[in-house]
């Protein structure tokens, strides 16, 4: 009977309404969601005004999303849900490179470039030369792996945050590893930056007294047949926000060795008249088996 629902019986009534869900996994997820959500409402004695505010917040979050910005991913990141999901689903065997958050600024239209290309393409920042190697757990090279890289510029902005660029993409690219599992490219040194605070996620951070900063990092996404895909970062040591990343994405194993060099001959043979950096990471993939 559903004619006399109250705060004690409402949960069982909802659970009974989904008891015939044909998909077993969907039934499990929905049952747990309803149970925990109802327990939360009872625990905090949620008011109608607070529930209306929550609905408005989620509505505004959706309205802030676009093809270049995913506010819901930003919300998930800042609540630690993204990193928790990754920790549950991407446990790696000993020695394999750890995964971390995807972030809200990946795009599907990064340009494919040749080895040694300057992927910054005019983005402001200090020069950096990257020589990355992708290998298996026994040191075997992973050839023909797709390596996608993207980053913010020296002003803390991704290309999609610069309306003046239109559809032009810079400081991001897709490369293929050679027979030795290596990729080479020129870019710029990453810098710490604040996540966007002009939307509902920014309002939430302000209301809870949190800062919006991420430590400097370079995004990598690596895919290869026969190997588990890897989405990860390489952070800069010494960054002020390594211990307070707003999206909880830092792992000690993901702090890279960004080496500064005096002006002179760069790894690609060019002459650089300013100080430049090199980065030579090794990414270890886990077998898909």
- Quick: pLDDT tens for 200-231: 999 999 999 999 999 999 999 999 999 999 99
Region of 144 on the Ramachandran plot (φ > 0 left; ψ -120 to 50 alpha; else beta): left
Predicted local confidence at residue 68, as pLDDT:
81
Predicted local confidence at residue 67, as pLDDT:
83
Instruction: Say yes or no to pLDDT of 237 above 60.
Output: yes
> What are 221's two structure tokens?
């996404």
Domain boundaries, the chain: 10-64, 71-284
Lowest mean pLDDT among 20-29, 159-168, 277-286: 159-168
> 103 falls in which pLDDT band (50, 70, 90)?
confident
Q: β-strand 255-256 against 259-261: which pairing, if any? A: unpaired
Beta strands in the chain (DSSP E): 127-135, 146-150, 172-176, 182-188, 193-194, 213-214, 217-223, 230-236, 255-256, 259-261, 264-265, 271-272, 276-279, 282-284
- Quick: pLDDT tens for 151-178: 999 999 999 999 999 999 999 999 999 9
> 287 falls in which pLDDT band (50, 70, 90)?
very high
Predicted local confidence at residue 289, as pLDDT:
80
Instruction: Say yes or no to pLDDT of 187 above 90.
Output: yes
Instruction: Say yes or no to pLDDT of 1 above 60.
Output: no
Does the reported pTM lie above 0.85? yes
The 3-state DSSP class for residue 112 equals strand
pLDDT over 90 percentage in the chain: 91
Instruction: Say yes or no to pLDDT of 282 above 60.
Output: yes
Give the mean pLDDT of the chain.
Answer: 95
Instruction: Say yes or no to pLDDT of 104 above 90.
Output: no
Average pLDDT over residues 58-71: 93
> What are 8's two structure tokens?
């004690």
CATH topology of domain 71-284: Protocatechuate 3,4-Dioxygenase, subunit A (2.60.130)
Quote the CA–CA distance of 90 and 86 in Å, as a whole number.
5
Predicted local confidence at residue 36, as pLDDT:
98
Lowest mean pLDDT among 65-69, 245-249, 252-256: 65-69
Note whether 249 and 100 are within 8 A (CB).
Answer: yes
Instruction: Say yes or no to pLDDT of 3 above 80.
Output: no
Predicted local confidence at residue 91, as pLDDT:
80
Quote the CA–CA distance of 19 and 10 in Å, as a whole number.
14
Instruction: Say yes or no to pLDDT of 115 above 70.
Output: yes
């Amino acid at each position: 009977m559903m004619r006399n629902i109250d705060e004690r019986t409402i949960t069982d009534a909802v659970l009974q309404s989904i008891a015939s869900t044909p998909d077993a996994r969907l039934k499990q997820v929905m049952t747990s969601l309803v149970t925990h959500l109802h327990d939360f409402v009872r625990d905090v004695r949620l008011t109608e005004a607070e529930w209306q505010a929550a609905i408005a917040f989620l509505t505004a979050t959706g309205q802030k999303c676009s093809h270049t910005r995913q506010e819901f991913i930003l919300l998930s990141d800042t609540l630690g849900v993204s990193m928790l999901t990754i920790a549950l689903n991407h446990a790696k065997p000993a020695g394999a490179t750890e995964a971390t958050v995807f972030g809200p600024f990946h795009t599907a239209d990064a340009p494919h470039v040749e080895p040694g290309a300057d992927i910054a393409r005019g983005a402001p920042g200090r020069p950096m030369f990257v020589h990355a190697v992708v290998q298996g757990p026994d040191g075997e090279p992973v050839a023909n792996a797709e390596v996608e890289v993207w980053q913010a510029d020296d002003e803390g902005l991704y290309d999609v945050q610069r309306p003046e660029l239109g559809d032009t993409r810079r400081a991001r690219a897709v490369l293929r590893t050679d027979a030795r599992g290596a990729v080479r490219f020129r870019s710029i040194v990453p810098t710490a930056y604040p996540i966007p605070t002009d939307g509902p996620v920014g309002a939430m951070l302000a209301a809870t007294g949190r800062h919006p900063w991420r430590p400097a990092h370079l995004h990598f996404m690596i895919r290869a047949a026969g190997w588990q895909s890897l989405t990860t970062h390489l952070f800069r040591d010494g960054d002020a926000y390594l211990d307070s990343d707003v999206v909880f994405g830092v792992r000690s194993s993901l702090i890279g060795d960004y080496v500064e060099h005096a002006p002179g001959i760069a790894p690609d043979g060019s002459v650089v008249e300013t100080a430049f950096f090199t980065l030579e990471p090794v990414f270890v993939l886990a077998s898909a088996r």
